[in-house]
């Protein structure tokens, strides 16, 4: 069982998701510039909503961080390991999995992983337990915990040499560990799978066994109409300035948009049940994701613009045959409003028409249960309608039974 989630949502003036220049993200789609929210920003928003609303037990959460060494070291300190020794033991143990550390650019005492890692408290505790079980071996192990960074101005005639050297260094460190000890460390990241980790997945290039295929797909959100960035000029007044001084303590401008967005995601319910080993756990995870994705949004510029809204239209569709599909092509031709027309109403109508056409053209694209929450004035024909989100989620999962 797979479920598609399609959302139409109108936002006030905002800069919820910005690019590297601090401007609202955009994309050309159908030959016109559109506003865009990245999939990563919406995944994080959904995870944060899940945590703040406590939709899942805390031991089922994940944290995305480069501070894995610090987290594990804290557990070791709680076991009675000295504060100075704890990070050294952790770095050694992580090197058994090919997960190297480097010193922070801002604080030499802080050790960071080479990239962000999605991990759970259960995995951190389990890894700390494995270190304690192999404490004597780690203390005797002689190795350079932190690889020195290339010196500024250093020259290499072979552009691939630094990368090869890095890989060889990781391989040599792994070879210092007997198979049974490597297995003890790796099992902490293999056997302690949480609901959120199974939902969002994790890629560890240096430790493939610890990678997890996420059962959630999230598309980049796009505006259903042409959306050009406008500049918001601002002046910040200096409250303490005297009457004869300039009152403007700061002035400038930032880009803003106010779009109606199409957001889309899907979740593989059946595979999630197999990943977490329980149909009930999978159901809990899907219920949490459906609510969190529907009601969350990127938080950039929240205090300055407060553009948080509720969706105008939400559609859940059960995939019976074929793969989950986005309905973005419905808006390839941007919607243009005329007098006394509602952009949201036109967007819902456009989606309804596109679903009807694709179902007629491609009979093998079969959808089962479909349910919508519709706050627009357009009467949506392609699915049943319910009054609220709780009813919609309950309806979609009412007959879900899986034996993993």
pTM of the predicted structure, to 2 decimals: 0.89
Instruction: Give yes or no for residue 152 having a pLDDT over 60.
Output: no
Instruction: Give yes or no for residue 117 having a pLDDT over 70.
Output: yes
Cα gap 300→27, rounded to integer Å: 18
C-alpha closest to that of 313 among 330, 298, 299: 330
Is residue 241 within 8 Å of 247, Cβ to Cβ?
yes
CB-hemisphere CA count at 13 Å for 205? 7
Cβ neighbour number for residue 255 with a 10 Å cutoff: 18
The mean pLDDT of the chain is: 91
Q: Where are the domains of the chain?
A: 2-60+216-239+253-396, 63-193
Whole-number pLDDT of residue 165: 58
For 298-317, the pLDDT digits (tens) are 999 888 899 999 999 999 99
Mean per-residue pLDDT, 126-151: 82
C-alpha closest to that of 288 among 98, 50, 74: 50
Residue with tokens 């990368």: 163
C-alpha closest to that of 47 among 271, 281, 269, 285: 285
Pairing relationship of beta strands 384-385 and 366-374 according to DSSP bridges: parallel
For 216-232, the pLDDT digits (tens) are 999 999 999 999 888 88
| Percentage of residues in the chain having pLDDT higher than 70 | 93
Whole-number pLDDT of residue 106: 81
Instruction: Give yes or no for residue 153 having a pLDDT over 50.
Output: no
Query: How confident is residue 158, by pLDDT bands cut at 50, 70 and 90?
Result: very low
Is residue 187 within 8 Å of 127, Cβ to Cβ?
no
Strand spans (E) along 32-120: 32-37, 63-65, 101-103, 111-113, 117-119
Query: How confident is residue 404, by pLDDT bands cut at 50, 70 and 90?
Result: very low
Whole-number pLDDT of residue 287: 97
Whole-number pLDDT of residue 104: 83
């Amino acid at each position: 069982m797979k479920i598609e989630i399609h959302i139409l949502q109108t936002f006030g003036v905002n800069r919820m998701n910005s690019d590297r220049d601090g401007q609202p993200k955009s994309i050309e789609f159908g030959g016109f510039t559109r506003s865009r929210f990245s999939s990563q920003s919406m995944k994080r928003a959904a995870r944060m909503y899940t945590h703040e609303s406590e939709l899942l037990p805390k031991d089922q959460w994940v944290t995305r961080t480069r501070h894995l060494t610090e987290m594990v070291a804290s557990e070791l300190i709680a076991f009675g390991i000295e504060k100075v020794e704890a990070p050294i033991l952790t770095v050694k143990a992580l090197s058994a999995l090919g997960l190297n550390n480097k010193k922070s650019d801002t604080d030499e005492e802080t050790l960071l992983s080479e990239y962000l890692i999605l991990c759970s408290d259960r995995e951190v505790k389990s890894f700390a337990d494995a270190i304690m079980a192999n404490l004597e071996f780690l203390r005797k192990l002689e190795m350079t915990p932190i690889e020195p960074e290339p010196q500024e101005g250093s020259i290499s005639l072979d552009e691939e040499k630094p990368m090869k050297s890095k890989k060889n260094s990781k391989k040599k460190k792994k070879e210092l560990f007997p198979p049974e000890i490597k297995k003890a460390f790796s099992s902490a990241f293999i056997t302690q799978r949480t609901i959120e980790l199974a939902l969002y997945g994790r890629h560890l290039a240096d430790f493939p066994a610890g990678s997890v295929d996420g059962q959630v797909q999230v598309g980049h959100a796009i505006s259903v109409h042409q959306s050009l960035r406008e500049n918001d000029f601002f002046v910040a007044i200096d409250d303490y300035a005297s009457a004869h001084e300039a009152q403007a303590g700061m002035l400038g401008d930032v880009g803003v948009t106010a779009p109606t967005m199409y957001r889309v995601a899907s979740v593989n319910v059946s595979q999630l049940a197999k990943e977490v080993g329980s149909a009930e756990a999978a159901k809990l995870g899907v219920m949490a994701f459906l609510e969190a994705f529907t009601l969350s949004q990127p938080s950039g510029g929240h205090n300055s613009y407060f553009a948080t809204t509720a969706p105008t239209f939400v559609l859940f569709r059960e995939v019976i045959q074929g793969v989950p599909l986005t309905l973005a092509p419905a808006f390839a031709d941007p919607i243009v409003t005329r007098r006394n027309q509602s952009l949201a109403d036109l967007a819902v109508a456009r989606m309804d028409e596109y679903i009807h056409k694709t179902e007629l053209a491609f009979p093998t694209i079969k959808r089962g249960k479909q349910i919508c929450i519709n706050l627009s004035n357009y009467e949506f024909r392609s699915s049943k309608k319910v009054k609220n989100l709780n009813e919609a989620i309950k309806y979609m999962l009412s007959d879900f039974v899986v034996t993993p």
